[in-house]
Each structure stands twice: as C-alpha cells, then as structure tokens.
C-alpha cells in the first residue's frame, strides 16, 4: 500500500498552489491597474496615444509594492493567501508605492520628451545617452524603493530612497536586469494581454524580487 501524502508534501499539489498564487497575484495587480488595462484593449500602439498610455501607468507603483509585499510574505512563510495579502500590503504601502513610482514615471516622461526634442537638434543626439541613463536610474530607484520599503516596513521614506539610489548605482547590473523584466511585464501586456494580465506579471515580479534579494537586499 502507498502511504497517503499530505497536501504540503505532495509536489503536484504544491505546484498547483504556486500556480494559483501566481495567477491571483497577477489578477490583483491587473485589477488595481485598470486604467492601463483599458488603454491596452482600446488604444492602438501609436505615437499619438503615448500620452494616454503614460497617464494610465501613473498608478503602477501601489500595485507593484503590494505585489512585492505578497511575494515577501510567500518567501517568509512558504505560503500566502494572495488576495488577502495583496490588498493588505496595498493598504499598508500603497501611498508610498505611488510616491516612489512617481520618480521613475517622472524621469521617463521628462527624459523621453527630451530625447524627442534633442534628436531633432544639430548635435543634440550626443545628449540622448545621458537622458536614457537618467531614465534608467529613475526607474531603478523606484523598483528598489518598492522592494526595500516592503523589506523594511518601519523605515522612513528618506532612508528607503537613500538605500534605493545607492543600490541602483552599486548593483547596476541587477538594476539593468530588473528594468528588462519590468519592461517585459508591460510589453507582454501590450502584445499578449491574455498572458500579461493573467499570468506573467507575478512571475516576472518574483524574479525581480529574487534578483534584488541576491543583490544584497537584506531586511534591516
């Protein structure tokens, strides 16, 4: 006779549970980012719609910090109630997540606008790499700040931002990988929304979380 396996020792049940957590985490993230969802399904990918897409991304920060928070609980306890924990973290860190997100969002809007303007000026193309570097730093600071706030819930915004900026420069290779994954999340949402709004967001965010953890993101 085969011994009956418990739920927590059955590999297939574990895989099913993890798939459920990934699915619900992504759906929760999509739910709090409905402006981008509606922009994706209703607007063509066209330069004339850039402003609308940019505005729809304004509230990504609260969703991302909540997703990192949910992943953090899963890492600590090896399990999580995804919907309950996502919205608990959303309430706890949502405002700070929004403010941190404004850094990357603002840097992207300003720098891309500068790239557009300077690309048309004589010799202006030499400044384009500078604007792109500034945009990358701004986005990296936002991503790092979401992570470090979750890992250090009692830390002040000033301390979190100082650490986020320092690590964005010191661990630049980790920052670049996270930016690729961050961009991939929204690229998949735009090109394959049936996957991006249902599956891949939590998966990519989990890889970003692990990348930050390996890069030196210890809880203070």
Q: Does residue 62 lie in a domain region?
A: yes
Q: Does residue 193 lie in a domain region?
A: yes
pLDDT of res. 1:
42
CA 101 to CA 166: how far, in whole Å?
17
Q: Does residue 18 lie in a domain region?
A: yes
Tokens for 23? 């699915």
CB burial string 196-217: b at 16+ within 10 A, e below: bbbbbbbbbbbebbebbbebeb
Q: What is the pLDDT of residues 88-115, one digit of tens each?
A: 999 999 999 999 999 999 999 999 999 9
pLDDT of res. 5:
52
Q: Does residue 2 lie in a domain region?
A: no
Q: Does residue 93 lie in a domain region?
A: yes
Count of the separate structural domains present in the chain = 1
Q: Which of 156, 154, 166 is nearest to 217 (CA)?
A: 166
CA 95 to CA 65: how far, in whole Å?
10
Residues for the chain: how many in total? 220
pLDDT of res. 44:
87
CA 174 to CA 213: how far, in whole Å?
10
C-alpha 7, offset from chain centre: 31
Q: Any idea what DSSP says for residue 7?
A: G
pLDDT of res. 220:
45
Q: Does residue 22 lie in a domain region?
A: yes
Q: Which of 118, 139, 120, 137 is nearest to 128 (CA)?
A: 118
Q: Does residue 219 lie in a domain region?
A: no
The backbone torsions φ and ψ at residue 67, rounded to the nearest 5 degrees and listed phi first, read -65, -45
Q: Does residue 3 lie in a domain region?
A: no
Q: CB-hemisphere CA count at 13 Å for 194?
A: 0
pLDDT of the chain, 220 residues: tens digit per residue: 445 555 556 788 888 999 999 999 999 999 999 999 999 999 888 888 989 999 999 999 999 999 999 999 999 998 999 999 999 999 999 999 999 999 999 999 999 999 989 988 888 889 999 999 999 999 999 999 999 999 999 999 999 999 999 999 999 999 999 999 999 999 999 999 888 999 899 999 999 999 999 887 454 4
pTM exceeding the 0.85 threshold for the entire prediction:
yes
Domain range enclosing 166? 11-214
Q: What is the pLDDT of residues 53-72, one digit of tens each?
A: 999 999 999 999 999 999 99
């Amino acid at each position: 006779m085969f011994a009956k396996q418990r739920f927590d020792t059955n590999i297939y049940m574990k895989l099913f549970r993890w798939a459920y957590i990934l699915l619900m985490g992504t759906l929760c993230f999509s739910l709090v980012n409905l402006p981008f969802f509606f922009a994706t399904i209703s607007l063509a990918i066209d330069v004339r719609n850039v402003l609308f897409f940019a505005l729809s991304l304004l509230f990504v920060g609260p969703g991302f910090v909540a997703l990192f928070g949910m992943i953090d609980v899963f890492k600590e306890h090896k399990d999580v109630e995804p919907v309950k924990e996502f919205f608990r973290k959303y309430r706890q860190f949502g405002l700070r997540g929004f403010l941190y997100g404004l850094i990357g969002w603002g840097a992207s809007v300003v720098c891309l606008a500068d790239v557009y303007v300077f690309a048309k000026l004589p010799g202006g193309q030499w400044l384009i790499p500078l604007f792109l570097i500034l945009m990358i730093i701004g986005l990296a600071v936002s991503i790092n700040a979401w992570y470090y706030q979750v890992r250090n819930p009692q830390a002040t915004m000033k301390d979190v931002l100082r650490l986020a900026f320092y690590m964005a420069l010191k661990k630049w290779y980790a920052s670049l990988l996270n930016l690729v994954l961050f961009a991939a999340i929204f690229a998949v949402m735009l090109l394959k929304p049936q996957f991006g709004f249902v599956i891949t967001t939590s998966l990519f965010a989990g890889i970003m979380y692990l990348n930050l953890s390996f890069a030196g993101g210890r809880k203070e």
